[in-house]
A and B are shown apart, each in its own frame.
Chain A
Amino acid sequence: MKLLEKTSRIYLMVSLVIYLAVGIAFYWIIKYMIYDEVETRLKVEMQDFESFIRSHDTWNNNSYFVENKIEVMPVTGEYSHTVIFKDTLIQNRYDEGISPFRQLTFYTIIGGVPHRVAIRKSMIESYKLIEAISAAMVTFLGLLMISMFLFQRRLSGKLWKPFYDTLTRIKEFDLTKKEKLQLPQSEVTEFSELDDVLKKMADKMQHDYTSLKEFTENASHEIQTPLALINARVEQFIQSKDLSENHTYWIEEIYHASRRMSRLNQGLLLLAKIENQQFTDTEDLDLVDLLKSKLSDFEDILTHKQIEVKMDLRSRFDINMSPSLADILLNNILSNAIRHNYLNGQLFLESDENYLKISNTGSELSTDPERLFERFKKESSGAESVGLGLAIVKQICDNYWLEIEYTYHETIHSIIIRQEMKELAG
C-alpha cells in the first residue's frame, strides 16, 4: 500500500469516527435542551393549574385549556405524589395523524377527590427543529470531512513529492556506473537530511566499489606478473641441456606449484568479482543451448575417458545473465562432472522448463553434499584441483537468483539448477 493511500485511509477512518461522535453528541445536546425547555414550560403550567385548583377547588375542562392538552381523571385507591415526565403519542383530533407529545403526570386533590392530571405539549415542532438541525449538521460535517480529506490528500501529495522524487532517483541509481547520485533539493529539513545521508551513502558505496574493483585488478596484476616471471624462468631453465633427473623433478614441482597458485589466484579474483557484481553485461540466454555447445568443447576429453552422454533436454532454460558468467558456470559444472567421472562412465543432461540437471557417475561421496559448495572443499585430494570450482558456481547462482542443489544417489552425482521465484522488490 502506498503511503498516500495509507494516510488517506487512516484520515478517513479517524475523521469518520470523530464526526460521527460529534454528530451524535450534538444531537443529544439539542434534544436535551429542547426537552428541558418543554419540561420547564410544563412545570409552569402545572403550577398555574395547582394555583387555579387552590383558589377554585374545582376543574372544568372547558374553562381553561383547549384540545386534549390537559386531562384530569379522578383516581381511586393508591396514588403517589411523584411527578412523571414521559413521551407519548396521541391521535390528532383533526387529521387522524399521530403526533408526539411530552406529558407531565401528577396527582392532586380536587374537591376532596384525588385526580390524576396529565398536561401535554406537542413535540411536533421541536422534532422538526431537531431534524432540521441534524440534517444541516450532517450536511455540513460531511462537506467539511470531504473537503478536509481532499485537502489533506493534496497537501500530503505535495509534501511527499520530494520523497517520491528521491525514491525514483535511488531506484535508477547504478552503483557500477560512474555517475554520482543526484537528488532534488527539498525545503523540508527531514527530506533534505535524508537526501544528504543517501548521497553520502551512495558516494561511499561507489567509492568502496571502485576501490574494491581497482584492488582486485591491481592484485590480479601484481600477483600474476611475478607468477608469469616464475613460469617464464622455469621454462627457460627447462631448455638447458644438462638437466639431471633430480633437477627436472624439482623444476616440475616449482612449475606445478606456480601454475596452481596462478589458478587459485584467478579463481579467488573471479569470486571477488562475482561477489562484487562486476559482471553487469547481461543478455537473454538459453542455458540449454549453451550447454550443448559447451559439451562440444569437452568432446575430446569425453572420448578420451569414453564417457557416454545421455541427453534428455526437453525445454529451454532461459535466463538473463552475463554471458561470461554463464560460460564459467557451465564450464565448471561440466568439467566437474567429467573430472570426477570414471572410465566408461556416464553423463546425463536433463532439462525442463524450470530446472537443469547435470548428473554423472562417480565414486562414492565422502563429504556432506551441502559443504561441497564451500571454498576449498574438494572431494578428491588431487593436487590439480584448487577447490574453487563449485564455490564459483554457487556464487554465480546466488547472483542470479538460481537455486542450486547437489544430490548423491547410488553413485550418481547430480547438480540441479532451478529458477527461484524472484523476490519482487518494492
Chain B
Amino acid sequence: MKILVVEDEKGLAESIVDYLTKEGFICEVANTFWQADEKVSLYQYDCTIVDLTLPDGEGFGIIQTLKKIAATTGIIIISARNTLEDKIKGLEIGSDDYMTKPFHLSELNARVKSLIRRRNFGGNNDMAWREIRVQLQARKVFVGEKETLLSRKEYDLLLYFLSNIDVALTKESIAEHLWGDHMDSADSLDMVYSHIKNLRRKILEKGGKDYIQSIYGIGYKFAAS
C-alpha cells in the first residue's frame, strides 16, 4: 500500500511517515505543491494525505489534478483551517475525508485504513485479528465462533483498536474518535474508561483473551501481550 504525504512542515511529515511506515505502508513525502503535483502525475498511490496550505500553492489544486487524471487514490485533507466552507469545498472537489490540525496520528491511521478498505473492497472484506473477527458490512463482531453484541460506540472503539494494533492510544484520541473533537471535556474521558471496561468484559465473556492493556497516565494499547 503506497501513501503520498503532502505536507510542508517537515517534522510533521516525518512523524506521519514514521507512524504509517510502522503500520506497514510505503510512504512518500512531497513538501511543496509542485513536487506533489509531479508525483501524483507520475505514480499511483492508494492514499494521498494533503495539507491545504502549501508554500507554493493550495492543496485543493492537487486534488483537482488527481480528479483530472481520474486517479483511484483515496484523498484525506489535513489542514489547520477549520471553517465549514473549507471542509465543504474539500469534500465537494473530491476528497474523502477532512481532518483538522492538530490531529492524532492514530486517528489518521484509522482513517487511512478505513478509506483504503472502502476503496479496495467496497467495505466488504472482514477484519480479523487472532480470534476476533469483524464483519464490516453487517457491523457484526465474532469472538471465536460466538457473536458478541456490541453497542455502536463499543464497535467503533474495537475498530479503532484493530486499526492500531500494538500502538499506544491516548485517552484523548479515543474520546475524539468516538465523539468528535467538540466533546473535549473531562466527562468524555470517564466515558472512554467505561466503554473500555464494557468492551473488555464482552470479549472476555465470549472466551476471548484480554488484549486491552492500560498504559499508566496515557491511555490504552491493544496488543497480543
Interface assignment of A384: CB less than 8 Å from any CB of chain B: yes
A335 and B19 form a contact (CB under 8 A): no
A384 and B81 form a contact (CB under 8 A): no
Interface assignment of B117: CB less than 8 Å from any CB of chain A: no
B172 and A259 form a contact (CB under 8 A): yes
Digitize B1-42: 1 where CB-to-A-CB distance is under 8 Å, 0 elsewhere. Answer: 000000001011001101100100000000000000000000
Known: A228-B102, A255-B170. A335 touches B185 (CB 8 A): yes
B12 and A228 form a contact (CB under 8 A): yes
Q: B3 → chain A, closest Cβ, in Å?
A: 15
Known: A238-B170, A304-B194. A245 touches B101 (CB 8 A): no
Partner of A235, one of B104, B182, B185, B216: B104
Partner of A228, one of B81, B101, B179: B101
Q: B183 → chain A, closest Cβ, in Å?
A: 7
Interface size on B, residues (CB 8 A): 46
A266 and B82 form a contact (CB under 8 A): yes
A248 and B215 form a contact (CB under 8 A): yes
Most buried by A among B78, B101, B191: B101
| Chain B: CB-nearest residue to A278 | B83
User: Which residues in window 240-278 of A have CB below 8 A to B?
Assistant: 245, 248-249, 251-252, 255, 258-259, 262-263, 266, 273
Chain B hits for A281, CB < 8 A: 84-85
B84 and A248 form a contact (CB under 8 A): no
B170 and A335 form a contact (CB under 8 A): no
User: Which residues in window 199-224 of A have CB below 8 A to B?
Assistant: 217, 220-221, 223-224
A245 and B216 form a contact (CB under 8 A): yes
Interface assignment of A311: CB less than 8 Å from any CB of chain B: no
Q: B86 → chain A, closest Cβ, in Å?
A: 9
Chain B hits for A266, CB < 8 A: 82
Chain A hits for B215, CB < 8 A: 238, 248
Interface assignment of B110: CB less than 8 Å from any CB of chain A: no
Q: Range of interface residues on chain A?
A: 35 or more
Task: Give CA–CA (A266, B9) in the complex, Å.
Answer: 20
Interface assignment of A15: CB less than 8 Å from any CB of chain B: no
Q: A408 → chain B, closest Cβ, in Å?
A: 21
User: Which residues in window 185-225 of B have CB below 8 A to A?
Assistant: 185-188, 190-191, 194, 215-218
B80 and A221 form a contact (CB under 8 A): yes
Known: A231-B102, A232-B15, A233-B15. A225 touches B179 (CB 8 A): no
Q: B176 → chain A, closest Cβ, in Å?
A: 10
Chain B hits for A232, CB < 8 A: 11-12, 15-16, 19, 102, 105
A residues with CB within 8 A of B: 217, 220-221, 223-233, 235-236, 238-239, 245, 248-249, 251-252, 255, 258-259, 262-263, 266, 273, 281, 297, 300-301, 304-305, 323-324, 331, 335, 338-339, 382, 384-385
Nearest 9 interchain pairs by C-beta: A224-B80, A232-B15, A228-B102, A228-B101, A221-B80, A231-B102, A224-B101, A248-B217, A252-B217
With contacts A221-B80, A235-B105, A324-B83 known, what are 19 further pairs, Cβ within 8 A? A220-B81, A221-B53, A221-B81, A224-B100, A229-B12, A235-B106, A235-B173, A248-B215, A248-B217, A258-B102, A262-B102, A263-B184, A297-B183, A305-B187, A335-B182, A338-B185, A338-B187, A339-B187, A382-B186
**Residue contacts A-B, CB under 8 angstroms, 25 given:** A217-B81, A220-B81, A220-B82, A221-B81, A225-B12, A225-B80, A227-B101, A228-B9, A230-B102, A232-B15, A232-B19, A233-B15, A235-B105, A235-B106, A248-B217, A251-B217, A255-B218, A258-B102, A263-B184, A300-B191, A301-B187, A301-B188, A304-B194, A335-B185, A384-B186
